[in-house]
Amino acid sequence: MAMLAVAFFVAALLYASVGFGGGSTYTALLALGEVDYRLLPLVSLSCNIVVVAGSTIRFARARVTPWRDAVLVTAAAAPAAFFGGLTPIDETTFLGILGACLVLTGLSLLLPLREESVVAPARWARAMPLVAMPLGYLAGLVGIGGGIFLAPVLHLARWHGARAIAATASLFILVNSLSGLGGQVLKGGAGRLGAAVDFGLPLLVAVAVGGQIGNLLALKYLPQRWIRLGTAALTAWVGMRLLLAL
């Protein structure tokens, strides 16, 4: 448990630095640790909520969140995340989807962020909620927040500037994690939730501390490019290990 808590701390630090929660990596680390796969989404989503709650507040205080557009995108995805959390899935399919998502996430973090390459948000305001719905379902299915899926799409669409997209992804992860967790709890029952809480409490403490340090590093010390490269390397490595273990 001590090594797992350290790994969760490092993952939370890195992901919080780039505005994400880290749920996909938490889930993969638990899977590699041979924890019961039915507990993985419950633990990972709870850790996600702890990390991105701080990021969401930080972005809101900095007044960079495009609230109208961010709420439209998030509101479209949240019900889909709930139904994704309710959907039964076997272990092999679950781990296969998760591993593929991690590798794609690592690649997406290498996309260049150019604040000046922005078009009028109204051009995409109607289309993005439709894109967000399947992303929310997939996030709920594998027990992550889904910001790692949404952010690359928003960047490619030149939806808003880089900081506004990071703020939107943070809100998206927070709401989807809460919604997906609700679906997972209904699917697994109170007994499974209790087992997840008993097992995951030290990990929640680890990500709470790591997330706060990650926010501080992003604001005051490390260049975003270095942080994104480190996060991309960690994510892709864990994803490949998971796929090779199938």
pLDDT digits (tens, 9 = 90+) for 118-152: 554 556 667 788 889 999 998 888 888 888 788 87
pLDDT tens digit string along 149-167? Answer: 888 788 777 787 777 888 8
Q: Are 198 and 4 spatial neighbours (Cβ–Cβ below 8 Å)?
A: no
Q: By percentage, how much of the chain surpasses pLDDT 90? A: 13
- Global confidence as pTM: 0.83
Q: By percentage, how much of the chain surpasses pLDDT 70? A: 87
Residues spanned by the domain of 76: 2-245
Domain count of the fold of the chain: 1
Convert the chain into a string of H (helix), E (strand) and C (coil). CHHHHHHHHHHHHHHHHCCCCCHHHHHHHHHHCCCCCCCHHHHHHHHHHHHHHHHHHHHHHCCCCCHHHHHHHHHHHHHHHHHHHHCCCCHHHHHHHHHHHHHHHHHHCCCCCCCCCCCCCHHHHCCHHHHHHHHHHHHHHHCCCCHHHHHHHHHHCCCCCHHHHHHHHHHHHHHHHHHHHHHHHHHHHHHHHHHHHHHHHHHHHHHHHHHHHHHHHHHHCCCHHHHHHHHHHHHHHHHHHHHHHC
Phi and psi angles of residue 197, each rounded to the nearest 5 degrees, phi first:
-65, -45
pLDDT tens digit string along 93-113? Answer: 888 887 887 787 777 777 665
What residues contact residue 163 under an 8 Å CB cut-off, 6+ apart?
59, 62, 64, 115
Quickly state the pLDDT bin for 30 (edges 50, 70, 90): confident
